Amino acid sequence: MTVRDRRSRPVVAIVGAGFGGLWAAKALRDAPVDVLMIDRRNFHTFYPLLYQLAAAELEPQSVAYPVRSIFRNQHNVRFLLADVERVEPTANTLHTSEGPVRYDYLILTPGSTTNYFGIPGAAEHAWPLRTLEDGMALRDHILSRFEAAAREPDPERRAKMLTFLIVGGGPTGVEFAGALSELIVGPLQKDYRELDLHEVSVVLIEQGPRILSSYPARLSDWAARRLAKLTVDLRLGEAVEAVEPDGVVLRGGERLLADTVVWVAGVRGDPAMDAWGLPLGRSGRVVVEPTLQVENAPNIFVVGDAAVLPDQPLPLVAQVAIQQGKTAAANIKALLSGQPCRAFRYRNLGDMAVIGRGAAVFSRGALQLTGFLAWILWAAVHIFNLIGFRNRLVVLATWAVEYLTFERGSRLLRTPGAAARLVSAR
């Protein structure tokens, strides 16, 4: 058989090629182990830029990169394209769609999924924004609403087609609202001369008293003013009580009519984990020891969005996953050499959110930046973190062209007919 068989070295299986998984694997580069990376997709998704995919600002290949290419030069990493179905800790075995996989150490980093908090209709009628497919589907839907509006004579129906409700005023909601607004007042305005763009509204709904609630209040206020300048309609202190096929119902009974409701209000652990047989805590996440180990299974680590540290509430961001991935790798190396595991400590390198072209907010301890300088810092950090030389180059080139021409991504609309043919073709 061609798959290499090196039974002599312990196998570290890593489930999930997100930030936690990639950085764990990289940290094991020189360890005397074989790493088996397992993911149901053949690519890593750069989640922080997914909203730019949905806003037709970036193309899929700029926010995703094939796992095999990432590890092309790290020879102790193999890749398996498979779905994990169950973990059997007593037998050190993962059961996958491609058969059982034996491990000596296991790092689980399956990430998270959208949390609808049981709001009626939300899972059925709102658009999530968690995966590459979500981003592409949402983009298709948004573009299709403009095509539909362009041939719709009735102003009320047209207004509903051109209303975009975004539920959740965290970084993703804020960034997406800004990008969507700029897509509309920029390229779409030029492409749909028959439409009056005053009929378009982008509405950001946030339950709390301010957007970006985890940031200093000064930055929240700055971001809110900036969004208002981009004609985003901010609805603070408003809770969505139900999502319906044609809009949302707010607490208090007000109805907002819209063909598009985007749900970025919360995340929870991947429901696939429910079947894995691990101790799940609040929001379907795994409760781990301070060392990121699972109780009673010291060779299993959980990192990233899927892990909860009882005494350390952490934001669900890439930084946390990256640092935890490194800690898990370090602890496996410690176990291999008979050393004790160390507890995870989060070091916040700063929070950043971008609000349209050339503007962002940045916060790190006492340092607070707004505007162009924060945006440049944001762009540098994101491009630096994008996996792979080619991705960095393409993203940089795309941004440069966009900045110079104010032109967006290709805006190719995969029509439902075409998409259906695509799948049924085989």
Alpha carbons 304 and 105: distance in angstroms, whole number: 17
Residue 67 has, within 13 A of its CA and on its CB side, a CA count of 28
Nearer to a copy of itself, 190 or 218 (CB): 190
Q: How far apart are the first and last CA of the chain?
A: 29
Minimum CB separation from a copy of itself for residue 261, in Å? 12
Footprint (CB under 8 A) of a copy of itself, residues 170-199: 187, 190-196
Among positions 252, 337, 340, 423, the unique one binding a copy of itself when judged by CB under 8 A: 423
Q: Which is nearer to a copy of itself, 118 or 153 (CB)?
A: 153
The DSSP secondary structure of 240-291, one letter per residue, reads EEEEETTEEEETTS-EEE-SEEEE-S-EEE-GGGGGGT--B-GGG-EEB-TT
Selected binder of a copy of itself within 26, 29, 40, 357 (CB under 8 A): 40
Task: Please state whether beta strands 163-167 and 260-263 pair in parallel, antiparallel, or not at all (unpaired).
Answer: parallel
Catalytic residue (one of 85, 124, 175, 241): 175
Q: Cβ of residue 11: shortest distance to a copy of itself, in angstroms?
A: 15
Q: Which of 38, 106, 136, 307 is in the footprint of a copy of itself by CB under 8 A?
A: 136
Looking at residues 361 to 390 of the shown chain, list those that interact with a copy of itself (rule: CB under 8 A): 389-390
Binding residues for a copy of itself, total number by CB under 8 A: 71
Q: 49-52: long-range contacts (C-beta < 8 A, 24 or more apart)? A: 49/382, 49/386, 49/395, 50/129, 50/130, 50/131, 50/132, 50/134, 50/135, 50/172, 51/129, 51/135, 51/172, 51/175, 51/176, 51/179, 52/179
Per CB under 8 A, 349 contacts a copy of itself: no
C-alpha–C-alpha distance, residues 288 and 320, integer Å: 14
Closest approach of a copy of itself to the CB of residue 264, in Å: 16
Q: What is the dihedral sign for C-alpha 119, 121, 127, 131?
A: positive
Does position 150 interact with a copy of itself (CB under 8 A)? The reply is: yes
Beta partners for residue 365, in sequence order? none
CA distances 20 to 16, 33, 258, 327, 338, Å, are 8, 18, 37, 10, 24
**What's the residue count for the chain?**
426
Task: Tell me the H-state helices in 337-424.
Answer: 372-385, 389-405, 416-424
- Region binding a copy of itself by CB under 8 A among candidate stretches 145-153, 169-177, 208-216, 364-372: 145-153
Q: Which is nearer to a copy of itself, 30 or 194 (CB)?
A: 194
Report how far residue 271's alpha carbon sits from residue 280's, in angstroms, rounded to the nearest whole number.
11
Distance CA 111, CA 38 (A): 13
Indicate the residue among 380 and 422 with the shorter CB distance to a copy of itself.
422
Q: Which of 185, 242, 383, 394 binds a copy of itself (CB under 8 A)?
A: 394
Footprint of a copy of itself on 222-281 (CB under 8 A): none
Residue 206 catalytic? Answer: no
Dihedral sign from CA coordinates of 276, 279, 281, 286: negative
CA 230/CA 193 separation, integer angstroms: 20
Separation of alpha carbons 352 and 423, rounded Å: 38
What is the per-residue binding string for a copy of itself in 311-330, x denoting contact by CB under 8 A? --------------------
Q: Which stretch binds a copy of itself (CB under 8 A): 15-23, 106-114, 203-211, 405-413?
A: 405-413
Q: Quick one: 268 or 408, whose CB is closer to a copy of itself?
A: 408
Question: Closer CB to a copy of itself, residue 131 or residue 207?
Answer: 131
26, 141, 157, 210: which one binds a copy of itself (CB under 8 A): 141
Q: Which stretch binds a copy of itself (CB under 8 A): 38-46, 86-94, 106-114, 222-230?
A: 38-46
CA distance 250 to 255: 6
Does 419 sit near a copy of itself (CB under 8 A)? yes
Among positions 82-101, residues that touch a copy of itself (CB under 8 A) are: 83, 98
Binding mask 94-133 for a copy of itself (x = CB under 8 A): ----x--------------------------------xxx
Scan residues 44-73 and list those touching a copy of itself (CB under 8 A).
Answer: 59-61, 64-66, 68-69, 72
Please tell me the distance from the alpha carbon of residue 373 to that of residue 234, in angstroms, as a whole number: 25
> CB-wise, 98 or 254, nearer to a copy of itself?
98
Please, what is the minimum distance in Å from the beta carbon of residue 99 to a copy of itself? 8
Encoded tokens for 180: 């969507």
| Residues with a known catalytic role | 175
